[in-house]
Amino acid sequence: WPHSRRARQLAASSALCSSASPLQLWNRGGDREQGIWLCVASAPFYYGAFPGSILRRASDWGGWLVPDGTLTRKEGRNFSMQQMAVSSFAVTSPSLHRNTFSALPARRFQGWHIRRVRNQVRAQAQLQYRKLGDSDLLISEVTLGTMTFGEQNTEEEAHDILSYSFDQGVNTLDTAEIVSTPYLLPFEIKIDTAEFYPVPVNKETQGRTDLYIGRWMQSKPRDKVILATKVAGYSERSTFLREDAKVVRVDAANIKESVEKSLKRLSTDYIDLLQIHWPDRYVALFGEFSYDSTKLRPSVPFEDQLKAFQELIDEGKVRYIGVSNETSYGVMEFVHAAKVNGLPKIVSIQNSYSLITRCRFEVDLVEVCHPNNCNVGLLAYSPLAGGVLTGKYLDANSDISRRSRLNLFPGYMERYNGSLAKEATNEYVKLAKKHGLTPVQLALGFVRDRPFTASTIIGATTMDQLKENIDAFTSAPRPLPQEVLDGIEDLFKRYKDPAIL
């Protein structure tokens, strides 16, 4: 046993002594490598060598990290060694490593192995990065949404949120010229950030989000931040976005004006990803389930929209393009028009996706966007369904519920706060607790692990919310255990998209 108080406490614990599994604690000692290591072995150590897959360091985590990724903290939680998923270890006899390392001096090998394991543990605590579609953008699995900046968050708070996210490895920011609001648009809409941010939108505060981001970015290396923004889709009620406009469209003039204004507000000379916030043509969106052909209207041809984007790409003002709140038909038409006419191809789709909003994407967009087909990466917005999946709205009279946006702005994203959505949310909260997860870990872990998710867009109005959201990506088991996924599918069969109006 290593000569440390914590090791003696563990040695004396009934949990350790009663464990049927052979366990040993080992400490290298010395000034450089102090710490407690938990090992599971089927044979005595050979020169201190043991498989890296069966070793985790406790002091790096403030708790024990077991092989399935579950973090068991030392404070306030009882655990036994038998509960630490010992059976999931691939226990390997050290004799299997004898030929590989027998030539190495014991101390030299121990030092190499410790460094290797330390790097493995640190890697598990870091965000992962993925290529977006067929672009060369390597984006973090977390994208920061910013639509509360300028309405619910001051500039100082916004900068703190941006800086913390950046320091944690988040390299992608999502903004927009227009954010949905029930007071200005003829339908309910939720987005991340655009020229219409913050939310709720009015002419006086429109674009304030971009200004906050632009001033923050002046102190950061531009090539380390992937900046995504949006151009507004068809709207008869947000004409203040344009000069002397009677209607906002996705045509060359509107796109160019939108980009020029966004560049100025953001204090940058290029946009990494420019997205169409919602289509120029009629589509059923934001809780509307059925396509209503009586609402058809003339729309800007797909080819013409891509030609306008091509001009901006040629000028160096835009790198890549994407769509948002789009359908399978729209994605395929954009990809086809690009291929036939030699125009830029969309690389991303930003659609709502969460435990209670799945069908829209899973029915056919999954196939369309697959790398073998159109290769369009999903940027999933509202993974917490506007905060509903945290469970904070289940008690309508709680302080946190009254201070949250669905109650601050009556009618906003009302589809997530309906009775059936609440019922489904309550069941997902129970499922999370059953498996030792928080509701946030369950909801964000689910979206994170979907094979078609390129990045998950999160937002926060407080630092505590932000930290919990980002931590969920590294603290939740990766991937979520099969029994958790089975529980999710059971609930999905009972509550298929309960947020549909």
Q: Verify whether residue 197 is a known catalytic residue.
A: yes
Select from 445, 119, 82 the least CA-distant residue to 72: 82
Q: Which two tokens stand for residue 87?
A: 């059976």
pLDDT at 205 > cutoff 60: yes
For 80-94, 158-172, 213-227, which range has the lowest pLDDT when averaged over its residues? 80-94
Q: Residue 38: inside a domain, yes or no?
A: no
Select from 154, 192, 198, 188 the least CA-distant residue to 173: 192
Q: Residue 98: inside a domain, yes or no?
A: no
For 101-110, 286-295, 427-436, which range has the lowest pLDDT when averaged over its residues? 101-110
Q: pLDDT of 448-473, one tens digit each?
A: 999 999 999 999 999 999 999 999 99
Strand, coil or helix: 10: helix
Q: Residue 72: inside a domain, yes or no?
A: no
Contacts (Cβ under 8 Å, ≥6 apart) of 27: 2, 3, 4, 7, 34, 35, 36, 37
CATH number reported for the structural domain that contains residue 217 in this entry: 3.20.20.100
Give the pLDDT confidence score for residue 406 in this predicted structure.
59
Average pLDDT, the chain: 78
Strand, coil or helix: 40: strand
Q: Residue 229: inside a domain, yes or no?
A: yes
Exposure of 253 in the CB half-sphere (CA atoms within 13 A): 8
Q: Do 167 and 481 touch, CB atoms closer than 8 A?
A: no
Strands 172-174 and 226-231: parallel
ω into 498 cis (within 30 of 0): no
Q: What is the band of 501 on the pLDDT scale with cuts at 50, 70, 90? A: low
Q: How many C-beta neighbours within 10 Å does residue 500 have?
A: 17
Q: How many degrees, rounded to 5, is the angle at CA 45 between CA 40 and CA 47?
A: 140
Torsion (CA) 428, 433, 437, 442 in degrees, nearest 10: 0
Q: What is the band of 295 on the pLDDT scale with cuts at 50, 70, 90? A: very high
Residue 130: Cβ-neighbour burial (10 angstroms; 0-12, 13-18, 19+): middle
Q: How many residues does the chain have?
A: 501
Q: Do 56 and 44 touch, CB atoms closer than 8 A?
A: no
Give the pLDDT confidence score for residue 1 in this predicted structure.
37
For 33-42, 220-229, 443-452, which range has the lowest pLDDT when averaged over its residues? 33-42
Given the residues 46, 47, 183, 197, the one annotated as active site: 197
Q: pLDDT of 403-421, one tens digit each?
A: 555 555 565 566 666 668 8
Select from 258, 203, 200, 122 the least CA-distant residue to 191: 200
Q: pLDDT of 108-162, one tens digit each?
A: 666 666 666 555 555 557 899 999 999 999 999 999 999 999 988 999 999 999 9
C-alpha separations of 500 from 415, 453, 471 in Å:
7, 22, 30
Select from 394, 472, 484 the least CA-distant residue to 438: 472
- C-alpha to C-alpha distance for 486 and 492, rounded to whole angstroms: 10
Query: What's the rounded mean pLDDT across residues 38-45?
Result: 38
Q: Residue 48: inside a domain, yes or no?
A: no
For residue 265, the Cα-to-chain-centroid distance in whole angstroms is 26
- C-alpha to C-alpha distance for 113 and 423, rounded to whole angstroms: 50
Q: Residue 358: inside a domain, yes or no?
A: yes
- C-alpha to C-alpha distance for 349 and 491, rounded to whole angstroms: 27
Contacts (Cβ under 8 Å, ≥6 apart) of 331: 323, 346, 349, 365, 368, 369, 374, 376
Q: pLDDT of 365-402, one tens digit each?
A: 999 999 999 999 999 999 999 889 999 877 666 666 65
Q: Residue 12: inside a domain, yes or no?
A: no
Percent residues over pLDDT 90 in the chain: 57
Q: What is the C-alpha end-to-end distance of the chain, expressed in Å?
A: 62
Give the pLDDT confidence score for residue 113 in this predicted structure.
60
Q: Which two tokens stand for residue 34?
A: 């102090």
- C-alpha to C-alpha distance for 161 and 179, rounded to whole angstroms: 19
Q: What helix, strand, coil percent values describe the chain, rounded to 5?
A: 40, 15, 45
Sequence-ordered alpha helix ranges (H) in 370-462? 399-402, 405-408, 419-434, 439-449
Give the pLDDT confidence score for residue 200 in this predicted structure.
59
What is the total count of domains within the chain?
A: 1
Give the pLDDT confidence score for residue 414 in this predicted structure.
64
Q: Do 73 and 65 touch, CB atoms closer than 8 A?
A: no
pLDDT at 332 > cutoff 90: yes
Residue listed under structure tokens 């929209």 = 305
Amino acid at 160: D
Q: Do 322 and 381 touch, CB atoms closer than 8 A?
A: no
Strands 23-26 and 129-131: unpaired
Q: Residue 395: inside a domain, yes or no?
A: yes
DSSP single-letter state for residue 480: P
Q: pLDDT of 243-256, one tens digit each?
A: 988 999 999 999 99
Q: What is the band of 27 on the pLDDT scale with cuts at 50, 70, 90? A: very low
Q: Which two tokens stand for residue 429?
A: 């909260």
Sequence-ordered alpha helix ranges (H) in 229-327? 252-266, 302-314
Give the pLDDT confidence score for residue 86 in this predicted structure.
31
Identify which has the larger pLDDT, 354 or 73.
354
Domain range for residue 283? 129-494
